[in-house]
Homo-oligomer: A and B are copies of this chain.
């Protein structure tokens, strides 16, 4: 039986975060000691490790909730888990592509900056002028944009 502090140390998840996970139903309610303190076992530790690893992989808590409910039913097909992971993979690839474009643009900004005054600083200039930017439009087009604005 682990205290919440030990569980935290064992999993690398902070104490208030563990309580938060319990509160939102991601972890079951812990047993309590005579003095009302939470007590955990190996199975809780494993579940929490699962959550932590999934979070590190970028899964939102709702997806983790779903994955947990899947792993509780080991006789089901894993197609659902596959779908979640695929969705996540697509999101990761998309984020990488966007970030690489941003990286290019930031590098361009920085190499052009002549270390002069603000009035000829390319950083500010690039940020001011949307026209000659590289970073927009990767795949599904310019997101969250109003009609009439083409970036």
Task: List residues of chain A with CB under 8 Å of any chain B CB.
Answer: 8-12, 14, 46, 49-50, 52-54, 56-58, 67, 70-71, 73-79, 81-82, 84-86, 88-89, 92-93, 95-96, 99-100, 102-103, 105-107, 109-110, 113, 115-121, 123-124, 127-128, 130, 133, 135-136, 142, 144-149, 151
Contact = CB atoms under 8 A, between A and B. Distances in A.
A119 B74 contact: yes
A56 B69 CA distance: 36
Given A96-B99, A105-B57, A109-B85, A73 B12 contact: no
Contact of A106 (B14, B70, B85, B121): B85
Nearest to A80: B118
Contacts of A52: 130
A127 B11 contact: no
Contacts of A46: 128
B124 A106 contact: no
Contacts of A85: 106, 109-110, 113, 123
A103 B93 contact: yes
Nearest to A122: B78
Contact of A95 (B82, B99, B128): B99
B70 A115 contact: no
Contact of A149 (B9, B103, B107): B9
